Amino acid sequence: MKLVSLHHVSVSYDKVPVLTDVDLDIWNDDFIGVIGPNGGGKTTLVKAILKAVPYSGEVIYAPEIENRGCRRIGYLPQISEIDKSFPISVREVVLSGLQARKRLLGRYTAEDRQKADELLHTCRIEEIARKPIGTLSGGQIQRTLLCRALISDPKLLILDEPTNFVDNQFEKELYLQLKHFNEKMAIVMVSHDLGTISSYVRSIVCVNRRVHRHDSNIITAEQLHNYNCPIQIVSHGDVPHTVLAKHPNARS
């Protein structure tokens, strides 16, 4: 079942085109890795899927995704987009994932709080439930944001660089959890860590102003060529690699 369809979607910031004429369908069982060079438009693509940036063209949600004002998309933003000075506890951050629904229905229920506690337990952060987010490590923040993204029982989970600033242990646990979540929801994950994600995702979407979907998790030489930027090969086989952080062609 098709959950989201983008038709001829274009996005510009200050008249500078960032995404041009994007056609993309997201299906209910998808596990998509979104790759591309720095500044290529990956986060903008995610925001277009969320209708969180002005765009031309069409972004169409199936009724399973949006029904009577209730949107079932969980979103884990980049850590840099989080205001850590905001005086709010881990548990409150997790519950805030229900806000869109609460605008219609009012206060949190005992059931909501129990759900938040279950997720905190699943992500192994129940002992920091009362801590303010400003005091947390990168891994603890990512776990908190993951719980927030999951609390509304999404049909589509979107993660933007979820393994930035986290340790290897968290990364491994996260990928295994995502595999499990993918039995119930579609997943779209932006990552620079191509070598790792290629062994978990089922499709690859390359973003460099234009968007190409490849229904395979094998990263090809052609895809690497699309990067047009320095690449560090980290292992052999199906060309897994990492894009260097410093990048002369970046537009940002």
Give the binding site for ligand ATP (CB under 6 A). Answer: 13-14, 18, 36, 38-44, 251-252
Q: Which of residues 71 and 209 has its CB atom nearest to ligand ATP in the complex?
A: 209
Nearest-angstrom CA–CA distance, 13 and 53: 9
Q: Cβ closer to ligand ATP: 13 or 86?
A: 13
In terms of CB distance, is 84 or 251 closer to ligand ATP? 251
For residue 30, give both structure tokens: 């998808």
* 230: Cβ contacts below 8 Å, ≥ 6 apart: 243, 244, 247, 248
Q: Which long-range contacts (CB under 8 A, 24 or more apart) does 122-127 make?
A: 122/147, 122/177, 123/147, 123/177, 125/90
CB 35 within 8 A of CB 225: no
What CA–CA distances, in Å, run from 3 to 24, 30, 73, 110, 156? 11, 10, 10, 30, 8
Q: Min. distance of Cβ 147 from ligand ATP in angstroms? A: 23
| Minimum distance from residue 7 beta carbon to ligand ATP (Å) | 20
- In terms of CB distance, is 152 or 191 closer to ligand ATP? 191
- As measured in angstroms, the least distance from the Cβ of 209 to ligand ATP is 9
Give the nearest distance from C-beta 80 to ligand ATP in angstroms: 9
User: For residues 50 and 88, which CB has a smaller minimum distance to ligand ATP in the complex?
Assistant: 50
Q: Which is nearer to ligand ATP, 92 or 193 (CB)?
A: 193
In whole angstroms, how close is the CB of 176 to ligand ATP at the nearest point?
25
Beta strands 186-190 and 203-208: pairing type?
Answer: unpaired
* Smallest distance, ligand ATP to C-beta of residue 69, A: 26
3-state DSSP helix/strand/coil percent for the chain, to nearest 5?
A: 35, 30, 40
